Amino acid sequence: MSDFVNGFWNWYVILIVLVSVIACAVFLWSQSIHRPSEGAVATTGHVWDETLEEYNNPLPKWWSWLFYITVVFSLVYAVLYPTLGNFQGVLGWSSAGQHKAEVDKVDAQVKPLFDKYLKMDLKAVAADKEGVEMGKRLYLTYCMQCHGSDARGAKGFPNLTDSDWLWGGEPAQIVETIANGRNGMMPAYGGNPEAIGGEAGAKEVANYVRSMSGLPSDSLLAGKGKAKFEAVCSACHGADGKGMTALGAPNLIDKTWLYGSSEAVIVQTIVNGRNNKMPAWQEFLGEGKVHLLSAYVLSLTTGAAAK
């Protein structure tokens, strides 16, 4: 049970539990001492179908004892297991402890298999049929919610099967991404008119960015946007627009767009910024599973070859 903010709630829970159980026992006892009087048996006054009456008799003894047994069971349970506030029970059991014990038991069984692949180079694991299949099952459990069951991603979530990598596609970079996560941030320039020139300036930059990747654009606006791009955007995306994997800054001259390539979407990105977070899995999955998962992602590109 979680710690309470103060001792009052601890005693509040203890009293509620004990009073409830003891009240049940007292109520059972009060009902068991009632004896029907001699002569006519009293009824509750309820009548059905004209002649069907409900007698006001005490419960049968065997039924009463069943309830007494539940009261005793409740008290014994409260002593053995965490029931009374912060008291953990004499057995020291907890759901978190049981979960950890079960996880440790399974980990001990599968550890030799994970150790086998940990000793192998990531490219070798990516070429191993059994290793890739294990990585695929891990992917379908933990990654498909964002990147899709086919790993082709969605709006705001990268495609893992193409040749475009925000943070690099070398084996060590893939492991780093999965193990420690990533936080990619595109700053919002809408609130800084001096940098871009407001939405009008963002539109100029958007047209220049579209022209860099061969998309239709307004040449006059693109010409104005070039200077703004070189002054503000090139620090992350490079003067040539090819991006920078060290910062997770995307390549702007290819045909891969994480949020879309329309002028309106690019303007929205410049004005409002973007903030993407890839969770870290090292602590949750462990080194062995991260290694297999990384190998599977690596295998999605060109078979067993890294890009």
What is the 3-state secondary structure of 89-110?
CCCCCCHHHHHHHHHHHHHHHH
Q: Identify whether residues 285 and 273 lie together within a single domain.
A: no
Containing 277, the helix (H) or strand (E) segment is: strand 274-278
Q: Please tell me the predicted confidence (pLDDT) of residue 17.
A: 93
Q: Identify whether residues 260 and 148 lie together within a single domain.
A: no
Q: Identify whether residues 252 and 286 lie together within a single domain.
A: no
Look at residue 98 and tell me if it is in a domain: no
Q: What is the CATH number of the domain that holds 239?
A: 1.10.760.10
Are 226 and 219 in contact by the 8 Å Cβ rule? The answer is no
Look at residue 234 and tell me if it is in a domain: yes
Q: Identify whether residues 215 and 262 lie together within a single domain.
A: yes
Look at residue 87 and tell me if it is in a domain: no
Q: Identify whether residues 283 and 173 lie together within a single domain.
A: yes
Q: Phi and psi (nearest 5°) for 164?
A: -100, 125
Query: Which of these, 300, 214, 218, lies nearest to 267 by C-alpha position?
Result: 218
The single-letter DSSP state of residue 154 is: B
Quote the CA–CA distance of 28 and 215 in Å, as a whole number.
Answer: 82
Q: Identify whether residues 205 and 157 lie together within a single domain.
A: no
Query: Which of these, 293, 296, 290, lies nearest to 179 by C-alpha position?
Result: 290
Q: Identify whether residues 71 and 109 lie together within a single domain.
A: no
Q: Please tell me the predicted confidence (pLDDT) of residue 19.
A: 94
Residues of the chain with pLDDT under 50: 1, 304-307
Long-range contacts of 197-202 (CB under 8 A, 24+ apart): 197/228, 199/267, 199/271, 201/225, 201/228, 202/267, 202/270, 202/271
CB atoms within 10 A of CB 146: 13
Computed on alpha carbons and rounded to an integer, the radius of gyration of the chain in Å comes to: 34
Q: Please tell me the predicted confidence (pLDDT) of residue 35.
A: 65
- Domain boundary, last residue among 65, 80, 95: 80
Query: Which of these, 25, 20, 19, 15, lies nearest to 87 by C-alpha position?
Result: 15
Express each pLDDT in 10-61 by its tens digit. 899 999 999 999 999 998 888 777 666 666 667 777 888 888 888 777 778 8
Are 98 and 72 in contact by the 8 Å Cβ rule? The answer is no
Residue range of the domain that includes 203: 185-278
Q: Please tell me the predicted confidence (pLDDT) of residue 30.
A: 84
Look at residue 86 and tell me if it is in a domain: no
Number of domains the chain contains: 3
Report pTM.
Answer: 0.70
Look at residue 153 and tell me if it is in a domain: yes
Q: Identify whether residues 205 and 273 lie together within a single domain.
A: yes
Quote the CA–CA distance of 300 and 127 in Å, as a whole number.
Answer: 11
Look at residue 168 and tell me if it is in a domain: yes
Look at residue 85 and tell me if it is in a domain: no
Q: Identify whether residues 129 and 46 lie together within a single domain.
A: no
Q: Identify whether residues 174 and 293 lie together within a single domain.
A: yes
